[in-house]
Structure 1
Amino acid sequence: MLINATHINLLHVCHRELWLHYHGVRMEHTSQTVAEGKLIGETSYPERAKKYTELAMDGIKIDFYDPKENVVHEVKKSNKVEEAHIAQVKYYLYILRKNGIEDPSAIIEYPKLRQRQVVEWEDGDTKKIEAWKQMVEDIVTREECPPLLHARICRSCSYFDFCYSDQPDTPSNS
């Protein structure tokens, strides 16, 4: 089973979205939030494409990798799900390390917030990521889709209409 960085990210956001995404139910094309995020990623650092490399290997695709400094640059719209963003770039670092790249690090950039989060490899990350991979596999191999999350983040999710179309209750403010 090929697990990718999106799966690791979604593991930390919503198990239902992870399951749906893995099984080919994709709603991102209907989301204004996703479109805005892509636009931010494409326009925030216009010179970056000349300076850095796009890198794809083992189920990951890094848009901006600085091979001289060994740094992954990940651009995100907001830090609402920062834990998921950190998990995603940790997975990038895991794959880079598995492929012989020594001591990679990452920077998550939030241009709208004018913030950056440096992400370094830490002792125990390999075990943690291998546990995440197992959790992803456990979730996506279930026969049934996981239950609704009923969280505030659901309101801005590209799957909102899909998940709540026949639900009398809506996500809580928690």
Structure 2
Amino acid sequence: MDITPTLIAYLHLCHRKIWLHAKHLRMESSSDLVAEGRLIGEITYPQRAGKWQEIDLGIGKIDFFDAKTNTVHEVKKSNKKEQSHIAQVKYYLYLLEKIGVENPRAVIEYPKLRIVENVEWDSETDSIEVEQWLSTATNILQGTCPPKMSKSKCKKCSYFDFCWSGEED
């Protein structure tokens, strides 16, 4: 099974979420939060579609890539920075390096926070870290469905209703 950038992000959020998504139990299409994220990316930076290109890596797409500087631009709707965002972008950088892109870089933009975060990439150490994530993800996906996290951590997850329907508060 191919490990996608989305699965790497989910690995850093919830092991149950990565497992469910990989098994094609997808809740994002009905999630208002996911739809809001797409809309923010489209309306916040409308000029990008003409300026930068989308790159299809086979297992995931980079929405905005500046080929002149080898920079991935990732937009997140979140009102807080998360490790999952950095992990997803580092996986993009790993994949780009694997196909021969030299010195790939990335920035994560948080329009709600008005913050742009540069993601550092060290080919030696970060490649090892990404390969560990891939190994961990593979182990999770080969097992049975992981348990739920605590309900308080799940409130904004697109899988919340799936995991918690029928549960008392």
What TM-score, normalized by structure 2, do the two folds share?
0.95
CA–CA separation in structure 2 for the residues paired with 1:10 and 1:130: 16
Deviation sequence 1:140-167 (CA, Å, 0-9, x none): 111x210001153310111111000132
Equivalent in the alignment of 2:72: 72
Equivalent in the alignment of 1:141: 142
CA–CA separation in structure 2 for the residues paired with 1:34 and 1:60: 17
CA–CA separation in structure 1 for the residues paired with 2:65 and 2:153: 29
CA–CA separation in structure 2 for the residues paired with 1:69 and 1:62: 15
CA–CA separation in structure 2 for the residues paired with 1:79 and 1:134: 30
Which of 148-157 and 47-56 deviates more?
A: 148-157
Does the Cα contact within 8 Å between 2:97 and 2:103 map onto a contact in 1? yes
Amino acid paired to 1:66: D
Q: What is the deviation of 1:87?
A: 0.2
CA-based RMSD of the aligned residues comes to 1.3
Amino acid paired to 2:65: Y
Does the Cα contact within 8 Å between 2:11 and 2:137 map onto a contact in 1? yes
CA–CA separation in structure 2 for the residues paired with 1:66 and 1:56: 14
Does the Cα contact within 8 Å between 1:64 and 1:72 map onto a contact in 2? yes
User: What residue ranges of structure 2 are gaps of 5+ in the alignment?
Assistant: none
CA–CA separation in structure 2 for the residues paired with 1:115 and 1:148: 32
Q: What is the deviation of 1:57?
A: 1.4
Equivalent in the alignment of 1:13: 13
Amino acid paired to 1:29: S
Does the Cα contact within 8 Å between 1:64 and 1:74 map onto a contact in 2? yes
User: What residue ranges of structure 1 are gaps of 5+ in the alignment?
Assistant: none
Equivalent in the alignment of 2:161: 161
Amino acid paired to 1:90: K
Query: Where does structure 1 differ by over 3 angstroms across 4 or more consecutive aligned residues?
Result: none
Amino acid paired to 1:135: T
What TM-score, normalized by structure 1, do the two folds share?
0.92
Q: What percentage of residue pairs aligned between the two structures are identical?
A: 53
- 1:156 aligns to what SS in structure 2? coil
* Paired residue total: 168
